Amino acid sequence: MAKVLVADDSKVMRINIRNMLKKLGHEVVAEADSGFSAIEMYKVHQPDFVTMDITMPPINEIKDGIEAIGIIKKEFPSAKVIIVTSHGDKEKIIRAIKSGASNYLLKPIGIDKLKEVIGKIGVQ
């Protein structure tokens, strides 16, 4: 069972992801509604991996999920982050991967695809 941080500005999406992770046997140890709070929650909980929405409200100079990934990866190089996005924008996905994301999921997320991507990043 992995410990997970779920970061998304949509409460409904956080609940959906949390429920799928629970069905897959993982434990959501924290949730964040902004990139800034995701960074803070990561420092406190140091989860096995993070699901991070690309588009989140700018708070305290952290403008989005991509920037939050870069900050987390700078401080915790072994951090595993799965980007979650509704944008099929390849440029944003490439920027997220270059910032340190381990993989990505397009919304809407299905439990089978979530399980597959978690396996691809090396988490059991």
pLDDT for 24-58, tens place per residue?
Answer: 999 999 999 999 999 999 999 999 999 999 988 88
Note the pLDDT of residue 60.
85
Given a cut of 80, is residue 72 above it in pLDDT?
A: yes
CA 33 to chain centre: 11
Q: What does the alpha-carbon distance between residue 35 and residue 26 come to, in Å, rounded to a whole number?
A: 22
Strand order in the sheet with 3-7: 27-32, 3-7, 49-53, 81-85, 103-106
Note the pLDDT of residue 61.
87
Note the pLDDT of residue 65.
94
Share of the chain above pLDDT 70, in %: 100
Alpha helices in 1-124 (DSSP H): 11-23, 35-45, 65-75, 90-99, 111-120
Ramachandran class of 25: left when φ > 0, alpha when ψ lies in -120 to 50, beta otherwise: left
Instruction: Identify the DSSP state of 62.
Output: B
Mean of all residue pLDDT scores within the chain: 95
Given a cut of 80, is residue 87 above it in pLDDT?
A: no
3.30.420.40, 3.40.190.10, 3.10.20.30, 3.40.50.2300: CATH of 3-103: 3.40.50.2300
- Residue identified by tokens 């629970």 is 22
Taking the model in full, what pTM does it have? Answer: 0.95
Given a cut of 80, is residue 88 above it in pLDDT?
A: no
So where are the chain's domains? 3-103
Average pLDDT over residues 74-86: 95
